[in-house]
Structure 1
């Protein structure tokens, strides 16, 4: 639903668009100097979009307004543009819009009633707030999806199962081993054994300096799982400090997995 004087408002702003733009630039001091940069970085025309927002607000095109806010949110998020600039810009649009609404009323022969004014205030501000809410939700959702995708990629790269032959694969592990990563290793190892029909999995631990007791115990369960799926597990590159911890808690690889001093040694044995 549009405003009570929708056509009059739209015509007024159409006829005064250049003056409105100049007033907006004077109002948005901090954003003004960034307009060309934002246009170059994200192909986002702030001035054109300001006019579009005003027209959607005045004409009550809420469906178009919602779509526009979602598109703007994705556009700003995809180019990592600063939210503070967007908020300042929209608030500057709001303030400039109200200046012109006041100017319009002053030029009219018939003064608006208090009730008409409050209805106007509610509709205009509600629609600008609707735009901001849609923008921030769209921006946030896009960023969340991007973070999840990057996290999934990092997790996948942290468990790199490398085929050496059709039946032999290597899993080189480096960095910190904690329970979250250990669970991810278990999930991917069992899935890849089933998918690739791996018969021998060489787990190289030479890049792991420390393992907590619960991670070591979980590693044993991962080895049990590989054996249950018909895959032999070979452990290489165990560091002395990890070996001491394994023996101290009374665990052993005997009957579970073959151990080799180095990955090179294991590959020489299985590739001959």
Structure 2
């Protein structure tokens, strides 16, 4: 286990100065601060809250598995919503600089860290932040490439973009028009892929589907029922209000085993962090 240099007193110092940290962070991230609300609206990604989460995982040596899971979740979320990578890089580097300014303040105030300790601490914390970035970019690139390839198959071959994210969990992002012919192919391909890949959890993201006819909703429900019969749990994310209203009007409800989340980000957070 890596040696830790920051004690509980630093955590208390950081918590007391939480608001000042946010202010300094926004001063550092000059190009991102005006995009914070846009990123929250488009991708349901709270940059301020995630900055605190990253700091927490970086300074706690026992949270490295959570740090890696968080980086993977973020990479998938940014790729899903095609958010600009430059903003992510600037934001993380601003977090790094702001964290070190607070460590400097803490060191001056307490005189607890020696020069040698500070050098060791610099290597430790920066390695963790760099690891976060590496995992983020790898998952962003992997998921983005898979999503682009899958979307191309949908357009060209009306195929089903089932994208593995773990050995037993996959995402099915439905984008654009969903007609009767496509839902028939969806049902066939989904059931085949569940058996072939031994999928235990399938996240069906409908945020890219603006509306569905009654017949299509009925076929989608049958597909979800079929996945359950094969021992695969379905998770539905991104249902549009117009689709929900149609389902309520028709008296359609999901099976009790089927979970729903407002956004793909919520589902990823539930399964990768908690």
The TM-score normalised by the length of structure 2 is: 0.55
SS in 2 for 1:44: coil
For the pair 1:50 / 2:51, whether they are aligned, the reply is: yes
1:87 deviates by 0.3
Match of 1:85 in 2: 87
Which stretches in structure 2 are left out of the alignment for 5+ residues?
A: 160-274
Give the gaps of 5 or more residues in structure 1: 159-272
Q: Secondary structure at the match of 1:33?
A: helix
Shift of 1:151: 2.9
CA contact (8 A) 1:6 1:58 kept: no
- The whole-number CA distance in structure 1 between the counterparts of 2:38 and 2:153 is 32
- In the alignment, the residues of structure 1 paired with residue 97 and residue 67 of structure 2 have an alpha-carbon distance, to the nearest angstrom, of 19
Q: 2 CA distance for matches of 1:2 and 1:17?
A: 25
Change (3 A) 1:103 1:87: same
Distance in structure 2 (CA, Å) of the matches to 1:6 and 1:147: 45
Q: Output the CA distance in 2 between the equivalents of 1:25 and 1:35.
A: 10
Deviation of 1:155 after TM superposition, in Å, equals 3.8
Structure 2 Cα separation of the partners of residues 154 and 73 of structure 1: 25
> How far apart are residue 156 of structure 1 and its match?
1.9
The reply to whether residue 101 of structure 1 matches residue 103 of structure 2 is yes
Q: Distance in 1 between matches of 2:69 and 2:137?
A: 13
Residue 143 (1) aligns with residue 135 (2): no
Higher RCO (Cα < 8 Å, 6 or more apart): 2
SS in 2 for 1:34: helix
Correspondence for 2:122: 121
Task: Give the drift of 1:157.
Answer: 5.5
In structure 2, distance between residues paired with 1:90 and 1:136: 12
**Is the CA contact (8 Å cut-off) linking 1:66 and 1:131 kept in structure 2?**
yes
Cα RMSD of the aligned pairs, angstroms, is 1.6
Q: Distance in 2 between matches of 1:101 and 1:41?
A: 33
Q: TM-score, normalised by structure 1?
A: 0.55
**What is the number of equivalent residue pairs in this alignment?**
157
1: CA distance between counterparts of 2:156 and 2:36? 38
Structure with the greater alpha carbon radius of gyration: 1
